[in-house]
Amino acid sequence: MYFAYGTKETDYLSCKDKRLAAAIAQIGPIEREVDTDLFAAVVHHIIGQQISMKAQATIWQRMRDALGTVDAEHLLAAGVPQLQQLGMTFRKAEYITDFSQKIHDGTFDLQAVWQMPDDEAIRALSSLKGIGVWTAEMILLFCMQRPDVFSYDDLAIQRGLRMLYHHRNIDRKLFEKYRRRFSPYGSVASLYLWAISGGAIPGMRDYAPKKPAK
C-alpha cells in the first residue's frame, strides 16, 4: 500500500507555489509505501533509528522469521537477549520490550492515538521510550497517513527546501513560512521535497554553505 494522494493535493500545492508546481510536474506521482499496523510501525521505527534502511529491513525480516507474529505477546516472550540476537542494540531491545509491556498491561492505549489530532498523537507517541518527535511524525505520515506532516527536524526536507528555493540555511521562521504555505497537504509536499533531496531533478544542488576544509 502506498501513501494515498491525488490531483486534489498536487493541484492545491501547485497553485500555492510555482517552483513546487514545476517540481511536481517534472517528478510525477510518487509511490511511498505505508504500514497501517500502528504497533508494527512503532517497533519498525525504533529498529530503524540511526541505521541504514537495508539494515532495518534485515533486522525486521529476522524478527518476523523468529517470532512469526510481531505483537506485544511474542516480543515479551522473546525478551531482550533474543531481540539483541536479531542484530539490534541492547537499548533498542529494551525500548521495544518496554513498549510491548505498556501495550500488554494497558498503560498505553495505542488505538486511542488514531483518534487524536496530530499534535496530541505526536505527544503521545513521543512519550514512549525510543520515540522522539521526528519519529512520531514519520509514524503519523507513513502509518497513519495524516495529510499535513511537515517535519522541521527532517534534514532531507530542509535540504530539499534549500535546493528548490536556493536558500543557504533553513531556520525555524523560514520553515514555518513553507509549512503554512503547504498546509493542509504538508505530507505530499514532504514526499516531493524528499525526492528533490534525493536527486530526482537533475542539475539541482544544495545551496548550504560549504564547510571549511580542515
- Give the predicted TM-score (pTM) of the model: 0.93
Rounded to whole angstroms, how far apart are CA atoms 214 and 211? 9
SS3 content of the chain, % helix, strand, coil (to 5): 60, 0, 35
Rounded to whole angstroms, how far apart are CA atoms 88 and 56? 9
pLDDT digits (tens, 9 = 90+) for 169-214: 999 999 999 999 999 999 999 999 999 999 999 999 999 998 776 6
Rounded to whole angstroms, how far apart are CA atoms 114 and 39? 12
pLDDT at 210: 85
Cα atoms found within 13 Å of the Cα of residue 108, Cβ hemisphere only: 22
pLDDT digits (tens, 9 = 90+) for 20-56: 999 999 999 999 999 999 999 999 999 998 899 999 9
pLDDT digits (tens, 9 = 90+) for 132-157: 999 999 999 999 999 999 999 999 99
